[in-house]
A and B are shown apart, each in its own frame.
Chain A
Amino acid sequence: MKRLLAALAMITTTATAQAEEVTTFTLDNGMEVVVIEDHRAPVVVHMVWYKIGSADEPVGASGVAHFFEHLMFKQTDILESGEFSATVAANGGSDNAFTSYDYTAYFQRIAADRLELMMQMESNRMTNLAITADNIATERNVVLEERNQRTENNPGALAREQFNAAQYQNHRYGVPVIGWKHEMEQLNIDDALAFYDLYYSPNNAVLVVAGDVQPDEVRALAETYYGVIPSEPDLPERIRPQEPPQRAERRITYTDPRVSQPYLIRSYLAPERDPGAQEEAAALVYLAELLGGSPFTSDLGIALQFDTQTALYTNASYDGSSLDTSTFSLAVVPTSDVSLSEAEAAMDQVIADFLANDIDPARMDSIRTQLHASEIFALDDTQGLAHRYGAALTQSLTVADVQAWPEILQSVTEDDIKAVAAKVFNRDQAVTGWVVATQEDAR
């Protein structure tokens, strides 16, 4: 059953488990370490997160952070090209990596007694990569095909690129993680190596080890393999161009014959989770749930999908996990005889009604209960917990912030939500995007 349109799938909430056993320490060279114990199965997840993402890239080299992630699987002074993954597989494990705006991370999932081998190889490629021009040419084609697959062949993804570029007027969140195609085509070995030399260093990295391990054992191994790598003295302070005051609404229509169903997206700038200041973000989690979390019980769902047949699908989403200013988004897919302008007016009426009326206390209780339960369910997913800590620590949060988050979520009040809604729903800081197959649909 695939009733939701895949292009509109979004993350609505984040929540942190409350009972995981976590130990943290920092190596002498500045590398932060998080150990999460889960002794249910003899398995470990080993992750190294670098505090470098696409939003840190030099101007003109968009995509280099992600491209470099691919190159990290090539040869080093002791590993052949591809030997890293082959060795993980030969030991019965799996490995991969991912790049986002704020981080690049590498991970392996493997039997717990193979942790040392993982650290040996991962620490080796932190500083000893030996890539060639030949690697560059072939792998650049691979990432261009990845862009084709994820973006060029997907009208929803192309539309999102246009909307993001309009949402951020100065910040690099407006540039796609995978890069603009014309800049990806020009990426060269100098771009890659300059990036590597500066940012791939222990004082710019977070090690997360989760699973059937003891903290003392992880500390000893980490000191042996990562602790000996010198810190990078020239690592720049992480200051990125911020948004100016946004003074005018942006409206975009993206037309592509491959679109099957017209839809609209509205996104507003919204505050993110900050160290010691996560309260507004927590209120925004509730706002997303109240407005568009469930089609059956949220304000948008009730008004547009039940009380009237205005929409096939509605959604509100917010992800507070971000180093810099995030966004709060709404989406509506109108039913076949409803125009986009009618659907947008109905959506705006829901926002206006929300701001004018009281919040139902029963809905607050229900959301609190679900957030609390999601912390219990999260304990079943060790890799998910590892991901939470890794992402948070590369986005300026502390372990204390991660552990405080569930309680902060539980203490959100109706007034907090009203206050943050009044602040966020500012059309001067918003992009409204229509996605249509033909100009005639843009009505």
Chain B
Amino acid sequence: MFRSFIALTLALFATTASAEIDIIEVTSPGGVNAWVVEEPSIPFIAVEIRFRGGTSLDLPGKRGATNLMMGLLEEGSGDMNAQEFQTAREALAASYGFSAYDDSIGVSAQFLTENQDEAIALLRQALIEPTFDRDALDRVRAQVLANIASEEKRPNSIASTAFYSAAFGDHPYGTNSDGTVESVNRLTQLDMHDAHQRALTHDRLYVSVVGDITAAQVGPMLDTLLGDLPAQGPELPNDIAFGLEGGTTVIDYDTPQAVAFFGHAGMKRDDPDFFAAYVLNNVLGSGGFESRLMNEVREKRGLTYGIGTYLVPKFHAEMMLGSVASSNATIAEAIAVTRDVWADTATNGITQAELDRAKTYLTGEYPLRFDGNSEIANIMVGMQMIDLSPEYVTNRNDYIEAVTLEDANRVARELLQPDNLHFVVVGKPEGLN
């Protein structure tokens, strides 16, 4: 029945916790690959589906099409209009989520074991036979336009939009995936059908299933759900280099607290140094209260409620990003301290004690992530998208442990580029030109 049926028992042995999940790889009769974890203790099932591509597949002049299309999947399909579809969904107590991201679209579902066939049939209808009727299109379009208007007045959105635009220009990463008022107003029903055909295709499909279901049942279920999707999607966009140089951009906006969005080029997820960079970033700015930036900017000086940094390896570009907010009177100091910490870490590296602490935290925290059916399904579908194997769950902490101080500090010198760090500041900052 299955072309392949490989069962692996993976144990997560961390310094402080161990968890065990059995990831079963299945291929359905129709050829859909999926990772499955059988968890019969609670009578429901979580399904996570991703398609690579996402809003980056928008055609020229159709910016926002993929986003709007995803918003319409729950607004009418088959012979049901939006209200009929939602009434049917509520009667099953199933929940479906449809999301659009830069590099993928996501479909999430949780439903009870007792009515799984009905819940899958209804979700299939939404994925395969959306109607994109005119009323629904206009209604959801108005909601998207309201969202665009709202983002134009939110300091954080203003900052990130300006940052990405300067860094990526005309590449899809450089523009808002919701689209513009003009582009969204022009989108038609035909555009929705096009976007649907382009975005949900077998060749870009990743699936995970966790819950009260056996691996043997998953294949037929997925064939019912996804069997009728088109085979192939359009070409993906090209990779693009991060195009923003070091500096500070101030966008005048009348609000009491200035927000800063900052960063420079980053590192690819499959770079051999990725784990060294990951541990380094934990020490620098993502390790909660213990990170260097949190300590210097918040704990010692009280300049902010929070500062964080992130490694962001997208499919077509990679960045090292951060954000901080501080009163207009103090944002200049918060930025100066951030630049100093960045430069000091690049030049002098981190200490053995910091490295050890970060490794202990990261290896201990990892097993705690596997704490629910939907969480496990999410982790597994994400792993598939970046081409990891199920064994990664077992080996991941070894990769963290293997990072040496030399690795971390070599990566600090290469990755952290204080002169290339660009801050986009939105507010009425004092002492910044």
Contacts and interface: CB of A to CB of B under 8 A. Distances in A.
Whether chain B is bound by chain A comes out as yes
Contacts of A142: 298, 302, 304-305
A394 to B, nearest CB: 24
Given A3-B147, A93-B365, A42 B17 contact: yes
Contacts of A357: none
Given A142-B302, A296-B83, A370 B90 contact: yes
B243 interface: no
B83 A297 contact: yes
A93 B363 CA distance: 10
A82 B299 contact: yes
Contact of A89 (B71, B110, B290): B290
B147 A380 contact: no
Interface residues of A, number: 71
B149 interface: yes
A94 B365 contact: yes
Nearest to B255: A153
A425 B59 CA distance: 50
B370 A41 contact: yes
Nearest to A39: B41
Contacts of B153: 258-260
Given A1-B67, A3-B144, A41-B370, A73 B42 contact: no
A183 interface: no
Given A82-B289, A145-B303, A377 B15 contact: no
Contact of A369 (B14, B44, B91, B368): B91
Contacts of A82: 289-290, 295, 299
A365 B93 CA distance: 11
Interface stretch (A46-54, A266-274, A301-309, A413-421): A301-309
B180 to A, nearest CB: 15
Interface stretch (A104-112, A221-229, A234-242): A104-112
Given A1-B70, A1-B98, A89-B290, A380 B42 contact: yes
B112 A373 contact: yes
A261 interface: yes
A260 B16 contact: no
B189 interface: no
A140 B364 CA distance: 32
Contacts, number: 201
A261 B148 CA distance: 11
Contacts of B306: 149
Interface in A346-380: 365-366, 369-370, 372-374, 376-377, 379-380
Given A93-B364, A149-B305, A138 B254 contact: no
Contacts of A377: 44, 110
B325 A148 contact: yes
Interface in A161-199: none
A40 interface: yes
B300 interface: yes
B288 A373 contact: no
A427 interface: no
Interface in B244-302: 254-257, 259, 287-290, 295, 298-302
Which of A112, A137, A142 lies at the interface centre, i.e. has the most chain B CB atoms within 10 A of its CB? A142
Contact of A92 (B155, B178, B288, B363): B363
A5 B256 contact: no
A53 B328 CA distance: 31
A150 to B, nearest CB: 8
B18 A257 contact: no
25 contacts: A1-B70, A1-B99, A1-B100, A2-B178, A43-B368, A82-B290, A90-B357, A91-B16, A92-B360, A112-B17, A141-B302, A145-B304, A145-B327, A148-B305, A149-B325, A153-B256, A153-B325, A258-B255, A261-B149, A296-B82, A297-B83, A333-B146, A336-B142, A370-B90, A376-B42
Q: Which 6 A-B pairs have the closest CB atoms?
A: A92-B364, A141-B302, A373-B93, A111-B17, A296-B86, A148-B257
